[in-house]
Every structure is written in structure tokens, then in C-alpha cells.
Amino acid sequence: MKEIIGVRFKKGGKIYYFSPEGITAEKGDMIVVETVSGQECGEVAIANRNINDSDFSSPLKPVIRLANENDLKILARNRKKEQDAFKICEEKIKLRRLKMNLVDVECTFDNSKLLFYFTAESRVDFRELVKDLAGIFRTRIELRQIGVRDEAKILGGLGICGREFCCKSYIGDFQPVSIKMAKEQGLSLNPTKISGTCGRLMCCLKNEQNAYESLLKITPKVGALVVTPDGDKGRVEDANIITGKLRIKTDKSEVPVVLDRNEVKLLKDAEIKLNRDEIKALKNLEGK
């Protein structure tokens, strides 16, 4: 077993593990740690905990100290520098007429680098912009082009459910989300119904997929051949995966019957497939 502390450097960001080195921290504490990019200050997301050694493929970087008053002042200065850098960069982008949208600015804890995150529809030649910014801030400048999902994660907002974006509040790393998931969950394949504010498939489709996969194993799908309690054969015309209610058209009646999945015997199940038109129409929703 190995003792770790989990740290986030941004709200809703990925949790990174560090070796406590004898330091005890509570969730919510600010601590200074050693990273591959130098010292950074982050918030404890997971307090001291023992985890199997096999969960780690490389040695953990150490926790240096609990953040002191001076560290918190540095963080405050860095946040102010980020705000100023954002305004200046926007002005330079406008001046050079670059087709890019600035999303965020991040200053490393040791003030050795400024990172500018932006979105653009195509590649952007920002070499002159980097020179402008380096001349103003006298530090290393790095520009990173990000996707629309990353932009939504950084900016945040409210989803159609009325809650804060999942990506902003708790999702550390984006997981692949597919049209097949929406199909298996019985959702309308209307782009406005299954896509988030970012224009890509909603992350909650992935969150709920495991539950739907379990229910699909015990629920006859639309088109499945079943036998009713009366011994009549029929095909499933509609299936509510959550409630388990099936609408079945039997061979002996023109009027469909509604039965519970536990009341029927499955003879031959059907498959949930996407047709070419659906794949073509919704392909762009699966991108980053």
C-alpha cells in the first residue's frame, strides 16, 4: 500500500496524486507540491489515503508543504496577472486580426510561464502574437488551441437540467461519448435534444450508460420476439428500459398489449443499430 494525497489545480479539473512525505492535509486545504513543471499550489481533493502500489506506474512527486500566507498571496497575484494578461492578449488578437477566440489564461505558481487557451475553426499562425506577449510580460509564453468541450469546461454554465455543467463541476477527464449510447438509452436522435451547450454529445450520456447497459441485458428490445403469459407469440413494438414496460403486438390480436418484462419469455432478441443516415447526420456531435 502507498499513502497518497489527491490534488486539483482547477475546479472540476483532473485529480493528481502526490506523496504526502509525512504531511497530513484535509480536503479543501491548499498545498504546495512538486510537479514536472515545477512547484504548483492546488486544493486537496482527496485527504491522506492508502492505495495499492499497483495503481501507480511511476514514482509520485512529493508534497512540499501546506500553503502558507505567502503562498496564498502569490496565488492572488497570479490571478490578477491572469486577468490583466487576458485583456492585453484580446487587444493584441484584435490588433493582428487573428481568427481566434481567447478562452482562458493560466499563470504557473512560480510565475515562469503564461499559458493562453484559445479556440479557432482552423490553424492559426500566432508566432507574432507570442512575440508581442513575451515582450510585455518578460516570461515564457505558450498558446494552446483547445476544443469546444474544453472551452465549456473552462467557462462553465448551466445545462438544460438547470445544474452546473458536469464537466465544470466534477468531471476530471472527458470520456468518449457516442451516438450509440443515445440510441441505446432510447433518446430522440435530435441534435438539440442530445447535445450540450458545447455542441457535442452531453456528458451525462456516458454517466448513465452503465445503468442502461445493465437494464438492456434484462429488457427485450424493440423488434424482439417474445411469448406472453397466455402463450401467444408477439413482437415488441416499444420498450421502456427504465420501467420495464413493453408494448407487444401479438399474432392473435390487432390491439397491442402492455406487459412487464418479467412477464414475458424471450425467444429472440433484437439489436439496436444505427443506420447510415443517422450516423452521417450526427457524426459531428461525437467530436471534441
In this predicted structure, the answer to whether residue 244 has a pLDDT above a threshold of 90 is yes
Q: Which of 67, 98, 120 is the last residue of a domain?
A: 67
CATH number for position 255: 2.30.30.30
Q: Which of 86, 114, 146 is the last residue of a domain?
A: 146
In this predicted structure, the answer to whether residue 63 has a pLDDT above a threshold of 90 is yes
Q: Are residues 79 and 63 in the same domain?
A: no
In this predicted structure, the answer to whether residue 275 has a pLDDT above a threshold of 80 is no
In this predicted structure, the answer to whether residue 46 has a pLDDT above a threshold of 80 is yes
Q: Give dist(CA 210, CA 142) in Å, integer.
A: 39
Q: Which of 99, 123, 146 is the last residue of a domain?
A: 146
In this predicted structure, the answer to whether residue 56 has a pLDDT above a threshold of 80 is no
Q: Give dist(CA 259, CA 237) in Å, integer.
A: 12
- The per-residue pLDDT for range 164-206, each reduced to its tens digit, is 888 888 887 788 888 888 888 888 888 888 888 888 888 888 8
Q: Give dist(CA 219, CA 213) in Å, integer.
A: 10
Determine if residue 157 is left, alpha or beta; phi over 0 gives left, psi from -120 to 50 gives alpha, anything else beta. Answer: left
Residue 183 inside a domain? The answer is: no
Higher-pLDDT residue of 171 and 8 is: 8
Determine if residue 269 is left, alpha or beta; phi over 0 gives left, psi from -120 to 50 gives alpha, anything else beta. Answer: beta
- The per-residue pLDDT for range 200-238, each reduced to its tens digit, is 888 888 888 999 999 999 999 999 999 999 889 999 999
Residue 170 inside a domain? The answer is: no
Residue 106, pLDDT score: 92
> 3-class SS at 35?
strand
- Tell me how far CA of residue 48 lies from CA of 3, 33, 39, 241, 244, in angstroms: 7, 14, 20, 41, 43
Q: Are residues 77 and 142 in the same domain?
A: yes
In this predicted structure, the answer to whether residue 75 has a pLDDT above a threshold of 80 is yes
DSSP 91-135: HHHHHTT---EEEEEEE-TTS-EEEEEEE-SS----HHHHHHHHH
Q: pTM for this structure?
A: 0.77
Higher-pLDDT residue of 121 and 58 is: 121
